[in-house]
């Protein structure tokens, strides 16, 4: 896909704004981005549902923009919103799809039964689609996408709204397809899922590609190679913000932030007043005194976490703070995503 642009009629900006990337055969490729980033539009163009404004795109070597009809037999798509035919039963939806792709009656009947069974829909196979739950609808659309043998499978938010059982089940099917050599392009908002499932991930926003790499390489690239999370209690009289500032001053700490504190912060003066009156009113939850409040601090490091444990502990010792818990970790794909796309809502 090269320099792909899509501007919807009357829209002030491009929904897809010069996207170029390639997905290798047999790969699971995750397309991530905030709401409205242009993921579904991109999938729409690649699956011939949306007409591109400019640029070029091929799927399995077939030009989806100039020769959509020929391209359609090479891929299958599970769209974000149901496009099942509500005038047909679930079983008929499956059979009809295979008929459209030119499969024989014997093949399509047998394949439909097999998939209905595999997806736990045999008993509901002849009901009205209107009676299907969200998860059943999703399973039926995935079953439909497997009725013909596609080279490339597009899944637009396939696990949104699925219960954990269906989610695990779906990922087993997706891995099976990948093992059979099917290329998979998916979108998701679940960062853990994206990191676990995708060989490579592309992060888009405002129709542009911000990053494209393996999940591991993306997280390593984030400022700081590691994260150190401390649960500490500042010494009596010390202030948590001053303590964090001192920790951020340690050589090798790129950035420090307070994650959460135990209980809502209450000004020391208010607590002193409560104490003078015989302690907090009974309706208030018990909470540590301001001086003894435990805080969780996250430090983003630009070197290995183990090397900084010593210096960090020295700072805590010097200030008389008590350390309750330490966690070493890598930044997550979600950290990368927020770092690239910001915290604002779309
Ligand atoms: N049919 C349409 N007509 C006009 N504008 C559209 C249409 N479909 C999408 N858009 C606009 O194009 C932009 C990209 O939308 P798109 O659905 O591709 O985003 P997305 O990344 O899939 O978002 P989400 O995560 O919410 O599914 C948005 O600004 C959206 O409002
Ligand atoms: Mg979408």
133-143 average pLDDT score? 92
Is any ligand 1 atom within 6 A of the Cβ of residue 13?
no
How much distance in Å is there from the Cα of 12 to the middle of ligand 2? 19
How much distance in Å is there from the Cα of 53 to the middle of ligand 2? 19
Where is the domain boundary, 179, 201, 220?
Answer: 220
Residue 260 has a pLDDT of: 64
Domain count, the chain: 2
The CATH number linked to 254 is 3.30.70.380
More confidently predicted of 58 and 194? 58
**For 195-240, what is each residue's pLDDT tens digit?**
889 999 999 999 999 999 999 888 877 655 678 999 999 999 898 9
On whether both 118 and 241 belong to a single domain, the answer is no
Residue 77 has a pLDDT of: 96
How much distance in Å is there from the Cα of 36 to the middle of ligand 2? 7
On whether both 183 and 235 belong to a single domain, the answer is no
Residue 287 has a pLDDT of: 45
Residue 129 has a pLDDT of: 95
Ligand 1 atom closest to Cα of 157?
A: 27
On whether both 172 and 259 belong to a single domain, the answer is no
On whether both 263 and 187 belong to a single domain, the answer is no
Residue 301 has a pLDDT of: 85
Where is the domain boundary, 183, 201, 220?
Answer: 220
**For 242-285, what is each residue's pLDDT tens digit?**
999 999 999 989 888 888 654 444 445 554 555 555 544 444 44
On whether both 155 and 48 belong to a single domain, the answer is yes
On whether both 197 and 68 belong to a single domain, the answer is yes
Residue 276 has a pLDDT of: 58
- 341 band by pLDDT with thresholds 50, 70 and 90: confident
What would the 3-class secondary structure string for the chain be? CEEEEECCCCCCCCCEEEECCCCCCCCEEEEECCCCCCHHHHHHHHCCCCCCCEEECEECCEECCCCHHHHHCCEEEECCCCCCCCCCCHHHHHHHHHHHCCCCHHHHHHHHHHHHHHCCCCCCCCCCHHHCCHHHHHHHHHHHHCCCCCCEEEEECCCCCCCHHHHHHHHHHHHHHHHCCCEEEEECCCHHHHHHHCCEEEEEECCEEEEEECHHHHHHHCCCCEEEEEEEECCCCCCHHHHHHHHHCCCCEEEEEEEEECCCCCCHHHHHHHHHCCCCCCCCCCCCCHHHCCEEEEEEECCCHHHHHHHHHHHHHHCCCEEEEEEEECCCHHHHHHHHHCCCCC
**For 42-53, what is each residue's pLDDT tens digit?**
999 999 999 999
Q: Is residue 338 part of a domain?
A: no
Where is the domain boundary, 168, 196, 220?
Answer: 220
On whether both 161 and 272 belong to a single domain, the answer is no
Is any ligand 1 atom within 6 A of the Cβ of residue 43?
no
Residue 270 has a pLDDT of: 53
60-81 average pLDDT score? 94
The per-residue pLDDT of the chain, averaged, comes to 87
On whether both 190 and 278 belong to a single domain, the answer is no
On whether both 152 and 229 belong to a single domain, the answer is no
On whether both 238 and 204 belong to a single domain, the answer is no
Domain hosting residue 304, numbered range: 224-330
Q: Is residue 344 part of a domain?
A: no
């Amino acid at each position: 896909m090269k320099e792909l642009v899509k501007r919807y009629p009357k829209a002030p900006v491009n929904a897809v704004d010069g996207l170029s990337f390639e997905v290798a055969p047999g790969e699971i490729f995750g397309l991530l981005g905030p709401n409205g980033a242009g993921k579904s539009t991109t999938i729409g163009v690649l699956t011939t549902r949306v007409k591109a404004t400019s640029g070029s795109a091929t799927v399995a070597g077939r030009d989806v923009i100039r020769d959509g009809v020929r391209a359609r037999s090479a891929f299958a798509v599970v769209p974000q919103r149901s496009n099942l035919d509500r005038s047909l039963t679930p079983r008929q939806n499956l059979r009809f799809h295979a008929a459209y792709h030119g499969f024989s009656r014997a093949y399509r009947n047998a394949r439909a039964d097999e998939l209905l069974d595999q997806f736990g829909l045999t008993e509901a196979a002849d009901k009205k689609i209107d009676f299907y739950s969200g998860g059943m609808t999703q399973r039926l659309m995935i079953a439909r996408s497997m009725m013909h043998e596609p080279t490339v499978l597009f899944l637009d938010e396939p696990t949104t709204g699925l219960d954990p059982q269906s989610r695990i089940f779906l990922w087993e099917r997706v891995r099976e397809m990948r093992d059979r050599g099917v290329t998979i392009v998916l979108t998701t908002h679940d960062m853990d899922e994206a990191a676990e499932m995708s060989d490579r991930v592309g992060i888009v926003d405002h129709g542009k590609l911000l990053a494209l790499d393996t999940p591991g390489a993306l997280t390593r690239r984030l400022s700081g190679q590691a994260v150190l999370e401390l649960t500490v209690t500042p010494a009596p009289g010390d202030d948590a913000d001053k303590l964090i500032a001192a920790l951020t001053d340690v050589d090798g700490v790129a950035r420090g932030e307070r994650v959460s504190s135990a209980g809502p912060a209450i000004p020391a003066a208010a607590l002193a007043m409560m104490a003078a009156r015989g302690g907090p009113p009974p309706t208030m939850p018990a909470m540590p005194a301001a001086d003894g409040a435990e805080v969780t601090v996250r430090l983003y490091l630009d070197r290995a976490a183990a090397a900084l444990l010593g210096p960090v502990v020295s700072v805590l010792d010097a200030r008389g703070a008590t350390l309750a818990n330490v966690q070493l970790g890598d930044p997550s794909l979600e950290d990368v995503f927020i770092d690239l796309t910001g915290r604002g809502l779309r």
